[in-house]
Structure 1
């Protein structure tokens, strides 16, 4: 009997493997994904155009939310609430993505609609069920600390509100215990909080919310969180329209999208949805290969950082032939970029690799060369534009290092004799290219402050952890460290 039992178990394992393989294939099928997104769009659009919510600005939570909102009807300022900031045990108000740029929109319209989605297993993504409620509550408490004359202890609501179906009472209590600490950190940061007319409060709507959905609360600035996708068993459900509905289809489009982006989808929506399944991959490949008319320039660039001489941009905006001769331009381009080498004294082009090799180059070559170029520009009183392809990562790292070298903690330009050097309490001397007798203090805290200047001025700035680590190493280590790291 034992061999028969083993054979039966092997067959069961094989069948299970085939089932899971089929499910995975269905979930990655781009035809299924695009048609699932289109179904969810109908739900989002019906709410956004309703009498109850039609007056509120419609905002996508990047990156997934952008698939569900027609750019023609959306506010051109996306939000960036990460689910990881709401994962169990990892809750937090992240000062690297404070989303404070959303507050003027919320105050003006008495609220906003925030759109996101999630894959199988959840009805509401952690970004909406926990990260956003934390954000609302921390800002309410920080506002009360900063403006006690306006926000009385009795009338200003500083409670934490979370959806009971998604957040247990125990988890709610654990988050609540940490809120005052996060509020204090926000108050002590370099960010400037505007006066709110009312406290913030989130509420949640999903396709399973009973009709009619709850309306905004008049005594609050309502953050209406819409989870666009219907929760279905195993994340998939067959539809009569000859496709399999995949919950949260807009998530992780790098895995299934073949290079297509939300902007391309919306520009070609009718054509894509009318394409038959056998032709869809070819159509998408042609669309991506031909290049989209979609602008890749993030909204709001170029951005001036505080009142300094520094501007962040993308390389797409800064064609060498049309640059202002009275400013300086530092362009970080991939080695394959066709842009010709600059032959102008006010332009520096650095060919920067990506990945691990690129990180070593960023520390040993990009930052030192950039600081040399920027120092000469600053001596001549020029504005300096720093650009990479996205305008969010490498350019932010270079600007961060430069702000630390040339500006004091009050965001005022330092005297030339203080540019870039440091020696202070529990701080390693910064050698780099500086005279050894300069004494401007550099700490991890001062670097963090300057990063907050950048994010406050350019909300799309999103430097990677690796980039920030290289900047810290460059500013807080002797040249021998980063020279050795390049070998």
Structure 2
């Protein structure tokens, strides 16, 4: 074995699941220290990586989703599909946001740029959306961490803020009238002290968004520790590549079992935890789209409960006024048979063929089912395998075709509803406001736009 092969072998061993889980445990201790310093602030993981380091028993119910790609150089943006405005609904003096990064960086772009952009855009939008409120000395500046974001990059981002604020102001999102501006504050394991904030609102001049980069910065991204493991910076990143099916939810439910496992048994323990989780169906309530008074609901297929007669329900219980539209790539089973009243199962293919099938089959059949049951006064629960993609696309199409701009169902006056790109974006905003985890793929939204904006004769000719 030559030197390069030896180094490659050592690096591969250093990044195994044992070292990663031990590293995550070390980072959790740091995050808990930060939480202890700010016990009154909601603790939120930034999905997906931050969920590994944030104890669900301490965390707020709805996580954040700030993508690092929205802060990458020359790709900066305030994405209305990831507006994170649900964070503004907390009655707080500040929040603690947890994320991590790998490869020797001090902090992820999500914390160093995406969150600062979000704070500055929200602050500027407050002035546009609530001009009647006095905002003397209101902070609209962009704050970025020194030594992480260059002066040139900072100034380039500043030039774009007003455009993003204008887009947010013109969106359909509702924004609370904040009494104080938002401001990002950064904490890493290298921080020598934690900033202190006044316990009285009268002395506080901003709402701190405390951005916690959980992992210690180390050269080459990993560092050998005393105690028989190699510390891996940002271990929680890309867990599909190393986790053997383990995810943050399974990890936290089995944390003690995993923490006490030694290197020789860790893979066996993880495999058992994953198989047990797969056998247990964790059911979460569906999200009702508030803007249409809950006539449309969204969930994942895993959140559906089958009754003995084949009828379906969700965690809110059975309801005679709910019809179920199920989109899945998995084979249909008896609980979703076509002959069950109020249930329609549509197979959704994956890959490139799935895109064509979504446009030509899934969307038309879904619209027929949804319109029929809405006209009967029922609510429609739309489910897909993730609860974030295809179901959201179908819901956008249904909201665009059957509901006016005020969220009223137009049973007998559908000809007056003419979707355009702006109205389609608005319907997606309605969904995200009620279901922040909604994250339809770009191709899904392209097919929805094509379905809604292409004249019917031409679309039929293509299909």
Q: TM-score of the superposition, structure 1-length normalised?
A: 0.87
Deviates more, 1:474-483 or 1:174-183: 474-483
Describe the SS at the equivalent of 1:96: helix
Matched, 1:461 2:438: yes
Query: By how many angstroms is 1:318 displaced?
Result: 2.7
Task: Tell whether the 8 Å contact from 1:143 to 1:151 is kept in structure 2 after alignment.
Answer: no
Q: Counterpart of 1:357?
A: 353
Task: Tell whether the 8 Å contact from 1:64 to 1:250 is kept in structure 2 after alignment.
Answer: yes
Shift in alpha-carbon separation, 1:482–1:286, aligned structure 2, 3 A: farther
CA distance in 2: counterparts of 1:439 and 1:71, whole angstroms: 47
Query: By how many angstroms is 1:482 displaced?
Result: 5.9
RMSD of aligned alpha carbons: 2.1
Matched, 1:144 2:139: no
Shift in alpha-carbon separation, 1:40–1:178, aligned structure 2, 3 A: same
Q: Counterpart of 2:30?
A: 43
CA distance in 2: counterparts of 1:199 and 1:177, whole angstroms: 20
Matched, 1:472 2:449: yes
Q: TM-score of the superposition, structure 2-length normalised?
A: 0.91
Query: By how many angstroms is 1:407 displaced?
Result: 1.1
Query: By how many angstroms is 1:198 displaced?
Result: 0.4
Task: Tell whether the 8 Å contact from 2:401 to 2:418 is kept in structure 1 after alignment.
Answer: no
Gaps of 5+ in 2: 199-203, 314-318
Equivalent residue for 1:100, pick from 85, 88, 93? 85
Query: By how many angstroms is 1:215 displaced?
Result: 2.2
Task: Tell whether the 8 Å contact from 1:297 to 1:314 is kept in structure 2 after alignment.
Answer: no
Query: By how many angstroms is 1:67 displaced?
Result: 0.4
CA distance in 1: counterparts of 2:9 and 2:355, whole angstroms: 37
Matched, 1:304 2:289: yes
Equivalent residue for 2:10, pick from 22, 28, 34? 22
Task: Tell whether the 8 Å contact from 2:289 to 2:296 is kept in structure 1 after alignment.
Answer: yes
Matched, 1:286 2:272: yes
Matched, 1:272 2:272: no
Query: By how many angstroms is 1:214 displaced?
Result: 1.6
CA distance in 2: counterparts of 1:178 and 1:205, whole angstroms: 26
Q: Counterpart of 1:115?
A: 98
Q: Counterpart of 1:333?
A: 328
Shift in alpha-carbon separation, 1:297–1:112, aligned structure 2, 3 A: farther
- How do residues 210-229 of structure 1 correspond to structure 2 at under 5 angstroms? 210=192, 212-216=193-197, 218-229=204-215
Q: Counterpart of 1:434?
A: none
Q: Counterpart of 2:316?
A: none
Deviations 1:375-419 (A, max 9, x none): 21122121111111222111111110001110122322225242x
CA distance in 2: counterparts of 1:375 and 1:462, whole angstroms: 24
CA distance in 1: counterparts of 2:73 and 2:101, whole angstroms: 16
Shift in alpha-carbon separation, 1:370–1:304, aligned structure 2, 3 A: same
Deviates more, 1:170-179 or 1:327-336: 327-336
Deviations 1:37-90 (A, max 9, x none): 00000000011012xx11111000000000001111111110000000000001
Q: How many residues align?
A: 447
Task: Tell whether the 8 Å contact from 1:142 to 1:184 is kept in structure 2 after alignment.
Answer: yes
Describe the SS at the equivalent of 1:230: coil
Deviations 1:101-153 (A, max 9, x none): 01122xx121100000000131110000000000001000000112223243x
Shift in alpha-carbon separation, 1:473–1:269, aligned structure 2, 3 A: same
Describe the SS at the equivalent of 1:283: helix
Matched, 1:416 2:421: no
Task: Tell whether the 8 Å contact from 2:402 to 2:417 is kept in structure 1 after alignment.
Answer: no
* The structure with more radius of gyration: 1
CA distance in 2: counterparts of 1:243 and 1:260, whole angstroms: 20
Q: Counterpart of 1:316?
A: 302
Shift in alpha-carbon separation, 1:402–1:255, aligned structure 2, 3 A: same
